[in-house]
A and B are shown apart, each in its own frame.
Chain A
Amino acid sequence: MSFKVPSNFNELLKLIEGELSPISVDVRSSKRIYVDIKKEDIRRAAKLFLDLFEPLRGRFSTATAMDCRDHFEILYHFSFSELGLVLTVRCKVPRYKPEIDSIADLIYGASFIEREIHDLMGIKFMGHPNLRRLVLPDDWPEGVYPLRRYG
């Protein structure tokens, strides 16, 4: 680990700003932080947070994919029990090229949700070790994504 483990909220914010060069940081309360990063940086963020899992009793909770008409948005929710907060990392994924790097090989807990998003929203997770169907049936037609709102 090349950094000091943050012991409080402000140190965590500083660490994120220093290590991830986020586009914006939105602090809603002492329990909720939203960080916007470029989608190319998601693996860097995953590596950083994976190192924090043990000292901060953290985990990857889940990811939400949203259809925002002109682009998709993926929200990665990380929980850190030691600080009692949820850190949400937001990435924009363009509609014309719905692809983002997978973090499932780093954080095993992310494997299912990436497969689910791939099923329901049609976003490809590049480098996922096993991007097969998870929730949709095997005979579901190709290219039909139930959670896409705008086609």
Chain B
Amino acid sequence: MMSGGELVIPLGPYHPAFKEPELFKLYVDGESIVNIDIRLGFQHRGIEYLAQKLTVQQVVFLVERICGICSTSHPTCFCQAVEEAMGLEVPDRARYIRTLIAELERIHSHLLWAGVALHLIGYDTLFMYFWRYREPVCELFEELTGNRQHYAMLCPGGVRRDIDLKKMRPKILKVMKEIKEAITKLADAVARDRLVRARMEGIGVLTKQDAIRYCVVGPTARGSGLKIDVRADEPYAAYKELGVDVKVMTEGDVLARTLVRVLETLESVEIIERCIDSMPNGPITAEFNEYPVADGIGKHEAPRGEDIHYVKLNGTPVPERVKIRAPTYANLPSLVPQLIGYSIADAPIILGSIDPCFSCTERVSIVDVRNGRTITLSMDEFNEFCRKRKNPLKVR
């Protein structure tokens, strides 16, 4: 893999563009990346093992803690798998409440990502604008569920908490209207800015063929022309009644993945408006008191893509096996074709473009294989190189 003129640049395990620690070894020849190697496990918490020690009701709260950004994705997925195994029918109102929470989460997650991506290429003004519009969504969550994150809304068979639509309806609609206007304006600012385009257009291209072979999901797949969305393909919760218009771009570059997310945010606004207009009344949980010997699969379109859980019950409240596959796990290997051929300065935005789930302690070591010299950069320093498009090895 290594010949005389190549450098190895390990990004991580604590990494600038990531919410979780992972090790990326970039093999570079001059400025351009020739190969990459990925190592996971720095944040392995043994959730699947722990899930075999808790009851299904407790596992819901455990899986909610897998991700702090899309924190309703895993509970939705897990509950659906349990419901499938038990043959439980979820009440209508609960399905609508699940949809409302999931779509609000998608809006806040995509806005958070858009801000971070723009921050990575040095456009901090827009970063602040995007996050300014994320804040009202978090406040809505606090009012709806009691928490800004980790909503703890779901339980097998329905939802744990009803929402007071009479009181919340005008508040939700007001925030949605604000977001719709703001995102249309901000998206225009992103799409027309020549500097943003220069950093995103034609960068990190993932072809449709590669997207299929690497089995990518979510906005990463939809940015490469694959029309896959669990909400439309295998409607769950209330998506069948509410309908989803799947947004697809064919270019496969960072810009395409960005625009897919922007368009999806607008689509989520519309789904929420339809959802609160047609939300039925009724009970919010289905009761059960028997645990069968059965298994089930739960799927949910998380902000980052398809999330899938497999649950096997063994006749007791404690599940026999819980298998969790988060969307980033599927999207990470596709970074190999995305990064090869591009420069080191493009790496953070390409890595960021699949929206991988940030750690607080981040650093980068850069190794010069010609003389074995290693330099370690902090997150701020590395991002600075990204913004200025300089090779850190040439500076120090």
- If A61-B215, A109-B330 touch, does A77 touch B233 (CB 8 Å cutoff)? no
Q: How large is the interface on B (under 10, 10 to 19, 20 to 34, 35 or more residues)?
A: 35 or more
Closest residue to A64 on the B side, CB-wise?
Answer: B323
Chain B 44-86, CB within 8 Å of chain A: the 1/0 string?
1010110010000000000000000000000000000000100
- How many of chain A's residues touch chain B, expressed as a range? 35 or more
**A28 CB, min distance to chain B CBs, angstroms:** 8
Asked if A66 and B312 make an inter-chain contact with CB atoms under 8 angstroms apart, the answer reads yes
Whether the Cβ atoms of B310 and A77 lie closer than 8 Å is yes
B308 at the interface (CB under 8 A from A): yes
Give every chain B residue within 8 A of A54 (Cβ-Cβ): 212
Separation of A64 and B323 alpha carbons in the complex (Å): 6
Closest to B38 in A: A112
Contact A112 B39 (CB under 8 A): no
Q: Does B333 lie within 8 Å of A108, measured CB to CB?
A: yes
With both beta carbons as reference points, the residue of chain B lying nearest to A137 in the complex is identified as B41
Give the chain B neighbours of A86 by CB distance below 8 A.
234, 297, 299, 308
CA distance A60 to B214 in the complex (A): 9
State how many angstroms separate the Cβ of B64 from the closest Cβ of chain A: 20
When distances are taken between beta carbons in the complex, the residues of chain A under 8 Å from B41 are 133-137
Residue in chain B with minimal CB distance to A59: B215
Complex CA distance for A134 and B216, rounded to whole angstroms: 19
Does B325 count as interface, using CB distance less than 8 angstroms?
yes
B227 interfacial by beta-carbon distance below 8 Å:
yes
A88 CA to B392 CA, complexed, in Å:
47
**In the assembled complex, which residues on chain A have CB atoms less than 8 Å from the CB atom of B320?**
66
* CB 8 Å contact bits of A104-126 with B (1 = contact, 0 = none): 00011111110000001000000
Bound CA–CA A109/B328 (angstroms): 12
A5–B229 Cα distance when bound, in Å, is 21
B321 within 8 A of A: yes
Who on chain A is nearest to B43 by CB?
Answer: A135
| CB–CB A146/B325 < 8 A | no
A60, B39: Cα distance in complex, Å: 21
Within 8 A of A (CB), among B238-279: none
Tell me, rounded to whole Å, the shortest Cβ–Cβ distance linking A73 to chain B: 9
**Which 8 pairs from chain A and chain B are nearest by CB?**
A109-B215, A62-B325, A135-B41, A64-B323, A81-B233, A59-B215, A135-B44, A84-B234
Further pairs besides A134-B41, A135-B40: 16, Cβ < 8 Å: A53-B212, A57-B226, A61-B306, A61-B330, A62-B325, A66-B321, A79-B306, A85-B234, A86-B299, A86-B308, A108-B213, A120-B48, A134-B39, A134-B40, A147-B48, A149-B52
